[in-house]
Amino acid sequence: MKRGLLIIISGPSGVGKGTIRSYFMQDESLCLAYSTSMTTRKPRVGEVDGKDYFFTTRDQFEKAMEAGELLEWAEFVGNYYGTPLREVERLRNEGKNVLLEIEVQGATQVREKCPDALSIFIVPPNMEELEKRIRGRRSEPEEIVQQRLAKAAGEMKMAKDYKYVICNDDPQLAADMIKLIIKKHMHA
């Protein structure tokens, strides 16, 4: 069986990564599996442990890191985030195209380890719209929103390292473009 692709999707907090994903994730022809990350961030209302993230303590996270259980990891606005390696390998060996929704430092680590990973960066139409979206989500206190927005400008500079850059103006259109990109690489 052909090994599945490794697909990285990055973009600043609030750009719409999760929203876009909900438009294409269930498309069976893409044969996708979402890699659930580990994080020390507290769950948001409605987030499910083991589905959205594996919510964990700093201590447990550091143990996983030291044991070499993570494909990549990074600290983002005061919390650790990382990708459990074993599950990614298992799914790819089953032929699934594995989607990593990770920030820019982690993406750099994955590209170094897996140069054939397919990478996509999502940008907002403009920074005012990004601010509107992250505030509109009402998931973080003001202080954290400020920190995430302050990080966004630096993250946008990393877009050049990605194979594709997509603007999330209309989420359906952005999802359709991602579908086309994945299909092209599946049949390459």
Ligand X SMILES: Nc1ncnc2c1ncn2[C@@H]1O[C@H](COP(=O)(O)OP(=O)(O)O)[C@@H](O)[C@H]1O
Ligand Y SMILES: Nc1nc2c(ncn2[C@@H]2O[C@H](COP(=O)(O)OP(=O)(O)O)[C@@H](O)[C@H]2O)c(=O)[nH]1
Residue closer to ligand X by CB (options 112, 170) is 170
Alpha helices in the chain (DSSP H): 17-24, 58-66, 85-93, 104-113, 127-137, 142-157, 171-186
Kindly state the number of chain residues that form the binding site for ligand Y, as judged by CB under 6 A: 17
Paired tokens of 19: 């929203």
Residue closer to ligand Y by CB (options 60, 105) is 105
Quote the least distance from Cβ 172 to ligand Y, whole Å. Answer: 20
**Beta strand pairing call for 164-167 and 118-123:** parallel
DSSP 42: P
Stretch that binds ligand Y, among 22-30, 57-65, 99-107, 170-178 (CB under 6 A): 99-107
140 vs 137: CA distance, rounded Å: 8
- The reply to whether 64 sits near ligand Y by the rule CB under 6 A is no
Stretch that binds ligand Y, among 70-78, 120-128, 161-169, 176-184 (CB under 6 A): 70-78
Is 78 among the annotated ligand-binding positions? no
Of 91, 130, 103, 98, which is closest to residue 41 (Cα–Cα)? 103
Is 18 among the annotated ligand-binding positions? yes
Which one among 16, 106, 178, 182 touches ligand Y, defined by CB under 6 A? 106
Orientation of helix 17-24 relative to helix 171-186, angle to 10°: 60
Residues at the contact surface with ligand X, assessed by CB under 6 A:
11, 13-19, 133, 136-137, 168-171
- The reply to whether 102 sits near ligand Y by the rule CB under 6 A is yes
Which one among 30, 74, 98, 145 touches ligand Y, defined by CB under 6 A? 74
- The reply to whether 56 sits near ligand Y by the rule CB under 6 A is no
Stretch that binds ligand Y, among 9-17, 20-28, 117-125, 162-170 (CB under 6 A): 9-17
Find out whether 104 and 158 touch, Cβ atoms under 8 Å. Answer: yes
Task: Specify the 3-state DSSP secondary structure of 161.
Answer: helix
Orientation of helix 127-137 relative to helix 142-157, angle to 10°: 140
Residues that bind ligand Y (CB under 6 A): 13-14, 17-18, 37, 41, 72, 74, 76, 81-83, 101-103, 105-106
